Structure 1
């Protein structure tokens, strides 16, 4: 089966502090957008032996459980196709957790459109798609909460990606769950979600041709020096009320304090978007490097896209979901 794996943007990010386990406590608003990879998951059962006849030990490092192998391919030759890929690790986790008595091959094909290492949760969305796909194919009947508890072991953004994909992919046949949705307030390390009414607008995305280390950004931040923080509750109220002045006022990403100083191309992209595109608000997504601008007018946003698409190759004009 094929699952649309959607990207996300951060309408706000606040870093509250550092936890004893080394992770950072955050409070943010995440919104899924109509930019997606296509993730196809196929299961080929090994019919040569019945499950109870299989050996207890996996025959090689590429096999999970009692005899499940994983074959991953993408349309981008530089992407890893082994345990370094979150989608691969998602398949491994599902196999080890729920299907240790089965044998066969999991084939994963990823058609990438979401920019890589962009602050858009592309890897997390791919992992979520694999979890949801295998849940359906193997008829495990896991609910969204169970999948989220599993997904957070792979990454903090995976639960939000699961929630959005569950809401947007009807072929997953998941029972309705109040945790499904495309916009949420996220707390903890980003895994604790409260679904809210999604923002409706157009989005201009532009990614400079660089990669940013999330760990470096969080590690390099001086939390005490942050002066401007988002008012998350005001932002949520603005979204509910369709009050775009209140929304733009409270759209703040504190990670910009580090990333804009360390990476001049991010600052340049944001400044050009503000000057040339004149969006309602321009902000960096995640830890960067992608910058996005919000528009209530499709015509105005499209005109801005036509002007800015020559600056960075990976520039898109899409909408929120």
Structure 2
């Protein structure tokens, strides 16, 4: 049997073997390309399905009101117009609301990054009595819904005479248990010898944070910034409760005001929604890699 196989192999020329290899390689490349194209097609369909509500909202925003209220389903406007966006800016001071939201969200994001990183540093590298108990108490606050403390918080800031000001919108949200937990888990991936070596070399705690920790935790900072900015941008209940003038209101309240200005102008309200959703989507798109990397980087310790 072996002699027969050996003779058959000898009968095949080197050129034929090369041709067989090339054919097999072509088939493998073809299968790989087909699989890649199929995966790309599935991803495009899923992307279109997920973006369909947003695309339809943009279509309504560009559609005249008379064209929207018809018996036929108009997915694409026959005539596009920017009048809905102009009306949304005229009916309410939407520009002022957008500026307020950017200011509030930016300050909250910066405040949480600073406060949460400092607190996480204390829980990760410093040794003091009751550290674990204090950390458990901080984590326990995550189980308390915000609605359960909103009345007491309102009475507190009212006693401070902070109502209808930037202070009442920013200061209560300058730290969060979730941010402390995120930074602590990230810091736990660093060996304690790194901190001890820096201390032996005469490095202070603040210098260690600024010169060593911050450059090593850019992904965690990016994830925290994206998460915090989007949450602060979308706040509704607290700004509605503590603000009473158009000077201090935020964009989420402004959308509610558009709904009450003219209940028939759905296209104008959708135009306002499109304008205020663009910043949050832009922040998410620009920082999605940092968000994913920061959420998972602290999960592996080494």
TM range (shorter): under 0.3
**Which structure features the higher share of strand residues?**
1
Using the size of structure 2 for normalisation, the TM-score is: 0.23
Structure 1 or 2, whichever has the larger Rg, is 2
Q: Compare relative contact order (CA 8 Å, sep 6+) and give the higher one, 1 or 2.
A: 2
**Which structure features the higher share of helix residues?**
2
